[in-house]
Structure 1
Amino acid sequence: MTGLKSRRRSAMPLLLPVILSLHFLTAAPAGACSTLAFPDPEQPVLAFNFDFAETGAGFLIVNVEGIERRSVMDGNGARWSARYGSVTVNQVGPGMPTAGMNTAGLAITLMWNEAAIYGGSTDAPTVSELEFIQFLLDTSGSVEEALAKLETVRIEGVVPIHYFLFDRTGAAAILTPAQNGLQVHTGDSLPVPALTNTSYAAAIEHIGKMQGFGGKVPMPEEQRPGETNSLDRFAIAAGLTGAAKTSFDPQSAFAALDRLANRETRWQVVFEPQSQAMRLRLKGHAEDLVIDLGSQNFACRGAPVGAALSTLTPDTLQDVLQPLEGSGLAASLAEVLGSMSETAHLGQPEVARGLAAGLIAASSCTPE
């Protein structure tokens, strides 16, 4: 591991949290992200579908060990140092992951959940709903360690999402923002290792009516549209995880994700915590990308390291992972923000440049 030194960072634009909140508020709640886990201790696997109607733009980010971070939230924003390196898939930019895994094998995904309410202690330092994922990946080597850190920060979120955590032992946890803080499902309170866009309690109640889970209703063979879609996907995922009595290989995990996919599915990610591998399948790309965390360089390179998803190929993956420049990040942000009518004005080049600069400035390290 390379030693790191802090350095001064320019002040971030005050509009940064506002832009992020506006953007994610406009992401349609019909988005159908899904996570399911196969927790066999011999070969634990986590599988994730990211669904977003407007665009598949985003970045693969290599988050270095020892980096110093500060939250973009105004006021009592959290500050921390990264104990672990990680690789994340980010729609917005560095420090704002949608999903990822660290070098200890902790993986985290997110899904929309209208029932989420951000509350809890007002004394703890704050992070945004996406920074929370990076905070846990930076500081926690397992689900147990992550759960021990929940009260050290407070999520000051706007977008209703919940989180799925998974580690190299096959341990899992679901975190749901609630009025009194984060509601936790783990161990015996997490009988089905899956999550969609409905509260976990409601999803478990739903499948309790179905064959194989104590009820008489046939399990759905395919997804239905509308309000039942999330519950259908959870039921299908429950059947898939329940049927996996032995280890699940990556291709079987992708096949399971295909059962939960729809026309808005942009990224599919399969995490193998014990082998430190991430397999990324992008819509429209002919081949899967395999990211071996064990071979990544997690030493400081002076700026966040990554590449636009559109530039990634199996042959050039390592070559294109370079320190991010504001112009490239701004172009991707302009595409994401400009893709929706409600945030099209935020996709203007000058706004995107300011946002990109703030995201890059939120973390720092000095190469030695």
Structure 2
Amino acid sequence: MPGKMRIQQTIIALFVTSLFLFLPQHRGVLASSTFKLQKGKTLIYGHNLNEGDIGVPGLVFINKRGMFKTGRTWSEIITRGRINPSSHTWISRYGSVTFNNFGKDFPDGGMNEAGLFIWEMNEEADYPKNDSLPKLNQMNWMQYILDNYSTTEEAIRCASEFEIDGWACHFFVGDAEGNTAAIAFINGEVVVHTGDEMPVPALFNSPYDRELELSKYFRGFGGEYQPDETDPNVPRFVRTAVMIDNYQKEDDPIDYGFYMLKTLRVFNDPEWSILFDAQNRTVHFRTRINPERKTLVMDEIDFSNNEPALVLNMATAFSGNILSVFKPYSKSIMQHFIRFELLPVLPKDFYTHGDLSARQFTDRIVNHTDSYTDSTNHFFKGTWESSRTEDEDEPHFLINFDVEGNAVTAVISPDSGDAPYNVDNLRMSGHQFCFTFQTKSGKILEVKGTIRDNEMLVNLQGIEDSYGDYTLKRTH
């Protein structure tokens, strides 16, 4: 027995050492946790933010669909000369609920209305470099995924479609079907664990392969040590597997999810504990400062772009359903938050190493979304008309894009004299777009297109029929 105890102590020491080796130097002690709990009709995604009890502030955002956005790199935000800027633009297809501590469209994580979940955790990362790809910082990249995709498979593909910068992170992704992935960036390559390569649907602050390696010493994974879900000396990865296995159908899934988050705490109570119930489409969270449980029902949220994004301080004293206490997003809210809540807990060299003052850093974060005010970015705006031909079977139609603030609307007008059709599922990334519309007869059509100067190349598809390719010209 003494020999076994020494071996166990050595393994635990190695585990703890591996955690600290991968902690970034500028953000203190980090020990965040993310998991999926799925059994029967239960599908919960949970996250703890542990940052050594430094009092991390945060905002909850309700982000809208149909919003025009321009990406940013972190080097662009943090350096006086705006080094390596992004020029990528998009229009959001989905609304989402996100938890942010660095401003609008800079989430720590969240879920969109299609049930796609993503969260970051600090870990060593070597993001691939590719000048031919569009650029985004790692938070902006997460918002891009929530704005545009509905499945884990799409999120995995997106990891290879951008050059990402920012601090070192790896990412947990899950969708409404329960498909999960751990996405990391190691030695300049995208490394993904999913399906059978992800036997425990959880991610912490060590590489997934390292978690698998350490788990082999415990029962249930081929080892001899009995794991106790409440023992902080047992890796969180192993304890999470035990707690998932111990979940019973009679357990309340939200109560059990919060029990898991409490059990996975490191050092102190988590700064944030958040649950997304993907089946019942609800969001539940509490903070260390205000531990009362707060709830959002996603089906009660208007994700349309008729009104601006909504925001709420995570530390609000309200409990229960909190939708009614959200406020329309404004720069003044963001500026107050950064000045009085974020900056006091940030190490000063976090922003001064880019030769910025506190005021300049605040202005960069607050104003980074202002690109929509530049009309030169509205390359899609206007009326686009297909060519008329003598062929009566050849459809003739108009597509009109309009912008009000950063909200984008679109309608399609047929030549039949019918009233214009409202566009649904609008998504644009760069100069490529896609949307659907439903005709008066109930037929659903999909339009995919690319804009090149004053020319729009469009493909029109029905559910089973193809209506061909068309070239539209901007008329005004």
- Residue deviations 1:156-194 (CA, integer Å, cap 9, x gap): 23x111111111111111100123432111101101111
> 2:119 is matched with which residue: 105, 109, 115?
109
- Local SS of the residue matching 1:162: strand
Shift of 1:214: 0.4
Whether 1:242 aligns to 2:245 is yes
Q: Which residue of 1 aligns with 2:68?
A: 68
Q: Which residue of 1 aligns with 2:201?
A: 193
Q: Which residue of 2 aligns with 1:17?
A: none
Structure (1/2) with the larger helix percentage? 1
Whether 1:332 aligns to 2:337 is yes
Shift of 1:367: 7.8
**Shift in CA distance, 315/165, structure 1 to aligned 2, threshold 3 Å:** closer
- Local SS of the residue matching 1:169: coil
- Local SS of the residue matching 1:338: helix
Q: Which residue of 2 aligns with 1:153?
A: 162
> RMSD of the TM alignment (CA)?
2.5
> 2:107 is matched with which residue: 63, 78, 97?
97
Task: Tell me, yes or no, if the aligned pair for 1:83 and 1:139 is still in contact at 8 Å.
Answer: yes
Task: Tell me, yes or no, if the aligned pair for 1:338 and 1:348 is still in contact at 8 Å.
Answer: no
Whether 1:203 aligns to 2:211 is yes
Q: Which residue of 2 aligns with 1:55?
A: 55
**Shift in CA distance, 197/328, structure 1 to aligned 2, threshold 3 Å:** same
> 1:137 is matched with which residue: 121, 124, 146?
146
Separation of aligned partners in 2, 1:61 and 1:247: 33
Shift of 1:311: 3.1
- Local SS of the residue matching 1:87: strand
Separation of aligned partners in 1, 2:136 and 2:117: 19
> 1:355 is matched with which residue: 356, 364, 374?
364
Task: Tell me, yes or no, if the aligned pair for 1:120 and 1:178 is still in contact at 8 Å.
Answer: no
Q: In structure 1, list runs of 5 or more residues that go unmatched.
A: 1-23, 225-230
* Percent identical: 23
- Residue deviations 1:134-158 (CA, integer Å, cap 9, x gap): 111111111122223333222123x
- Superposition pairs of residues 1-368 of structure 1, within 5 angstroms: 26-28=26-28, 30-40=29-39, 42-52=41-51, 53-73=53-73, 74-114=84-124, 116-157=125-166, 159-220=167-228, 221-224=230-233, 232-244=235-247, 246=249, 249-262=253-266, 263=268, 265-300=270-305, 303-311=308-316, 313-314=318-319, 317-334=322-339, 335-343=341-349, 350-351=359-360, 353-361=362-370, 365-366=406-407
Task: Tell me, yes or no, if the aligned pair for 1:120 and 1:180 is still in contact at 8 Å.
Answer: yes
- Local SS of the residue matching 2:35: strand
- Residue deviations 1:205-246 (CA, integer Å, cap 9, x gap): 10011112100123254224xxxxxx7222211221233365
Q: In structure 2, list runs of 5 or more residues that go unmatched.
A: 1-23, 74-83, 373-404, 410-476
- Residue deviations 1:49-75 (CA, integer Å, cap 9, x gap): 011232231100011001111112243
Shift of 1:340: 3.5
Separation of aligned partners in 1, 2:98 and 2:202: 20
**Shift in CA distance, 366/78, structure 1 to aligned 2, threshold 3 Å:** closer
Instruction: Give the partner amino acid of 2:33.
Output: S
Separation of aligned partners in 2, 1:271 and 1:110: 15
Separation of aligned partners in 2, 1:25 and 1:84: 35
Q: Which has the larger radius of gyration?
A: 2
TM-score by length of 1: 0.83
Separation of aligned partners in 2, 1:79 and 1:64: 16
Instruction: Give the partner amino acid of 1:142.
Output: T
**Shift in CA distance, 366/36, structure 1 to aligned 2, threshold 3 Å:** closer
Between 178-187 and 61-70, report the one with greater CA deviation.
178-187
Between 177-186 and 200-209, report the one with greater CA deviation.
177-186
Separation of aligned partners in 1, 2:201 and 2:109: 17
- Local SS of the residue matching 2:303: coil
Separation of aligned partners in 1, 2:307 and 2:363: 19
Separation of aligned partners in 1, 2:277 and 2:351: 40
Structure (1/2) with the larger strand percentage? 2
Separation of aligned partners in 1, 2:361 and 2:131: 31
Separation of aligned partners in 1, 2:317 and 2:304: 21
**Shift in CA distance, 46/182, structure 1 to aligned 2, threshold 3 Å:** same
Shift of 1:92: 1.1
How many residues are aligned here? 336
**Shift in CA distance, 348/283, structure 1 to aligned 2, threshold 3 Å:** farther
**Shift in CA distance, 359/180, structure 1 to aligned 2, threshold 3 Å:** same
